[in-house]
Structure 1
């Protein structure tokens, strides 16, 4: 559908310019044939991931266009246990409309929570929200006396920015500087990307309407739903 829309806009705009500047122009039927020909040529060299959507399938069937698909490889996503001396920091951020939240947790190698947080914050670009979640998680880990931390975030951009692999957007430079200062207080730290499917507990805590809120949540306020997610991660579900 996006290809069809783009092709239509491109050729209609070209036809409009031709008529404005007095150049030879096409009849509407000829213009339609050019648009359909463009769509067909692109689709012939295109492979869609997985199965086409119902709208794409209907559109292709109506115009008798072939659709070629390719199977997307499946990946096994599990939460990897840290070494006995290392505490993990899993974190996430979410934004819906005018509402945003960040959250994270500090599980050890035995799946025991050393701390967690869930905070409502002002909406920002998602990669900056993820960096804000990292900053709050590091501050919490520092307050718990943790010296070796393995940080996992499901934002590849945030991970690469902090690891120095990407240039930092100017809006996030103040946040990056704060994170770098906090990291100096740890003996060892690692920051890696994790797939969302292996970060479900942090995702739960980041939701704006998460029932448990606060910078450092007391153990008595931890909901069973969250404990179940932590246990599933620990078991490698």
Structure 2
């Protein structure tokens, strides 16, 4: 009770380098109360992951949520956030923005979530490629989003192809 869950994800298209991010806020019952997507232009996948989380935290703060549990499927992004001494890192400026948000008067927990439980955020991140540059709030009843929310709750597995070298 009293906590909101923020799930975020990033996406970069290999052929163009176009980057996007997206995420959603869920209440204590697991209901989606807010969804967003961002077209980021061009950046690395780690930068997209971090920028998606920053945008989600800004939305949570602006909506008045003061207890946020952020879940991301990028262990690299989480490591950058937690490594406070690494301002010279190539993602240091984004990490600095992140830490400024964390220093506000609220409680934020950050945890890793497996990709199989983050399909809705992945869907929103990929959707960002279809929007103009910037952050866009979305209808939480979007049929595509609802489908992936169900997958997250049920933990439905999906086959993946992995390139072997």
Tell me, in whole angstroms, the C-alpha distance in 2 between the residues paired with 1:208 and 1:218. Answer: 13
How many pairs are equivalent?
Answer: 152
Match of 2:113 in 1: 194
Partner residue in 2 for 1:113: 32
Taking structure 1 as the reference length, the TM-score comes to 0.58
Structure 2 residues without counterparts, runs of 5 or longer: 157-165
Counterpart mapping for 1:174-213 below 5 A: 174-208=93-127
Higher strand content, 1 or 2: 2
> C-alpha root-mean-square deviation of aligned residues, in Å?
2.3
Q: Is the 8 A contact 1:160 1:166 kept in 2?
A: no
Return the structure number with greater relative CO, CA threshold 8 A, min gap 6.
2
SS of equivalent residue, structure 2 residue 47: helix
Q: Distance in 1 between matches of 2:104 and 2:116?
A: 30
Residues 1:210 and 1:186: Cα distance change in structure 2 (over 3 Å): farther
Mapped contact 2:87–2:96 kept (Cα < 8 A):
no
Structure 1 alignment gaps of length 5 or more: 1-83
- Following superposition, the deviation at residue 211 of structure 1 comes to 6.1
Whole-angstrom CA distance in 2 between matches of 1:210 and 1:116: 15
Larger Rg: 1
Which segment drifts farther, 187-196 or 225-234? Answer: 225-234
CA contact (8 A) 1:86 1:150 kept: yes
Deviation at 1:231, TM superposition (A): 2.9
* Maintained 8 Å contact 1:157/1:166: no
2:145 alignment counterpart: 226
SS in 2 for 1:225: helix
Give the structure 2 partner of residue 124 of structure 1: 43
8 Å Cα contact 2:86-2:92 kept in structure 1? no
Q: Secondary structure at the match of 1:170?
A: coil
Matched, 1:160 2:79: yes
Match of 1:149 among 50, 68, 77: 68
Q: Deviations over 1:104-127 (max 9, x none)?
A: 000112122221111111221211
Contact 2:19–2:45 under 8 Å retained in 1: no
1:215 aligns with 2:136: yes
1:208 to partner: Cα distance: 4.8
- What TM-score, normalized to structure 2? 0.81
